[in-house]
Amino acid sequence: MADPWIEAYTFAVEIAKKAGAEIRKASESEIKISTKSSTVDLVTATDVRVEKIIIGALKEKFGEDVHCFIGEESISKKGACILTDEPTWIIDPVDGTTNFVHGFPFVAVSIAFVVKKELEFGVVYSCFEDKLYKGRKGQGAYCDEESIQVSDNIDINKSVIISEFGTDRTPSKVKKICSTMERILKIPVHGIRGTGTAATNMCMVACGAVEAFFEIGIHCWDVAAGAVIVQEAGGVVCDVDGGPFDLMSRRMMCANHIDIANRVIKEIEIFPSERDDGQD
Distance CA 250, CA 260 (A): 21
Integer angstrom CA distances of residue 97 from 89, 94, 103 = 20, 6, 10
Our CB check for Mg ion shows the closer of 73 and 92 to be 92
Distance CA 96, CA 89 (A): 19
Q: Which does 239 bind (CB under 5 to 8 A by kind): Mg ion, ligand LZGB4YJL, none?
A: none
Measured at the CA of 21, the angle between CA 127 and CA 119, to 5 degrees, comes to 60
- What's the burial of 17, exposed, middle or buried (CB within 10 Å: 0-12/13-18/19+)? middle
Q: Does 164 bind ligand LZGB4YJL (CB under 6 A)?
A: yes
CA-wise closest residue to 123 among 12, 202, 219: 12
CA-wise closest residue to 109 among 129, 88, 133, 126: 126
Q: Is 259 annotated as a binding residue?
A: no
| Contact region with Mg ion (CB under 5 A), list: 85-93, 142-150, 173-181, 243-251 | 85-93
The interface with Mg ion within residues 194-233 (CB under 5 A) comprises: 222
74, 139, 149, 167: residue in contact with ligand LZGB4YJL (rule CB under 6 A): 167
The dihedral through the CA atoms of 234, 240, 242, 244 has a sign that is negative
CA-wise closest residue to 43 among 89, 111, 92: 92
| Contact mark string toward ligand LZGB4YJL, 208..247, x via CB under 6 A | -------x-xx---x-------------------------
Q: Which does 88 bind (CB under 5 to 8 A by kind): ligand LZGB4YJL, Mg ion, none?
A: none
Q: Does 197 bind ligand LZGB4YJL (CB under 6 A)?
A: yes
Q: Is 222 annotated as a binding residue?
A: yes
Q: What one-character-per-residue DSSP string does 64-117 give?
A: TTTSEEEEHHHHHHH------SS-EEEEEEEE-HHHHHHT-S--EEEEEEEETT
| Contact mark string toward ligand LZGB4YJL, 25..64, x via CB under 6 A | ----------------------------------------
Q: Is 65 annotated as a binding residue?
A: no
Q: Does 97 bind ligand LZGB4YJL (CB under 6 A)?
A: yes
| Contact region with ligand LZGB4YJL (CB under 6 A), list: 4-12, 143-151, 192-200, 232-240 | 192-200
Q: Is 246 annotated as a binding residue?
A: no
What is the H or E stretch that residue 236 is in? strand 236-238
* Cβ partners under 8 Å of residue 175, min gap 6: none
Q: How far is the CB of 3 from ligand LZGB4YJL (least distance, A)?
A: 29
Distance CA 119, CA 121 (A): 6
Residues that bind Mg ion (CB under 5 A): 92, 95, 222
Residues that bind ligand LZGB4YJL (CB under 6 A): 72, 92, 95-97, 164, 166-167, 196-198, 215, 217-218, 222
What residue numbers does the annotated binding site for Mg(2+) cover? 72, 92, 95, 222
